[in-house]
Structure 1
Amino acid sequence: MKPCLEDGECGTRLLASSYRVRLLTGDKDDTLPWRLSWRFLAWATRFHNVIAALMAGTPLISLIYTAKNHLLLGKMGLGSCCHHVDSFDVGFLIEQFSRLAENLEEHSGTIRCRVEKFKKPGSP
């Protein structure tokens, strides 16, 4: 398995499949939930971008380098959508991205519901 970040293979394959792709670099504007709210699905590595996507109700796949993304996405019902940044299979990620897209409304609804629960006092 080779990371696709080196040659842009993931983005190229998503574009070829008619997905819109925008690179989130971690700039201030990238992390605001309202900027993510129009997005179809997100693909994030940095924790603050994961939080921004979830706050907007946006399903995502996270390429992780620490456990905190995996723990959070597990609580959101997306634990299987975490892959280590140094060892992931591009083909599998594209398939997983497509499966998320097929059930977008269901995943978005689940995320919104769980985010609301986290906002309540005394929640984990």
Structure 2
Amino acid sequence: MTAPVRKTEAEWQAELSPEQYAICRCSATEPPFTGAFWDHHADGVYGCVACGAALFDSTAKYDSGSGWPSYWQPMAREAVALKEDGSHGMRRTEVCCAACDSHLGHVFPDGPKPTGLRYCINSAALRFRPR
């Protein structure tokens, strides 16, 4: 694991687009079926748009029908941090980049085998690197 990425909010705002900043630093959500990666099928690695940390491999990506990129597991358990999220009157588990604490999306217990998990991630929080 690498050292945590620490930046001021002004630095994050300067480096990220307004949409990326709203999602990664303010926990916003992009509308379903609008992001670059919800229907993306190339072979490679999806990393954090804010810090570049490798998060999800394309081999764990599947079509959940939700309109957001979905994965049944991260590349490594240590790549993501899970937090309880009680916002909007719901109880969910937030998924953040473990390296820079950027909000990525949420994880739900309705995914495919072998994990049964659906990591539902915002496209704007990701950067794709082809293999």
TM-score by length of 2: 0.25
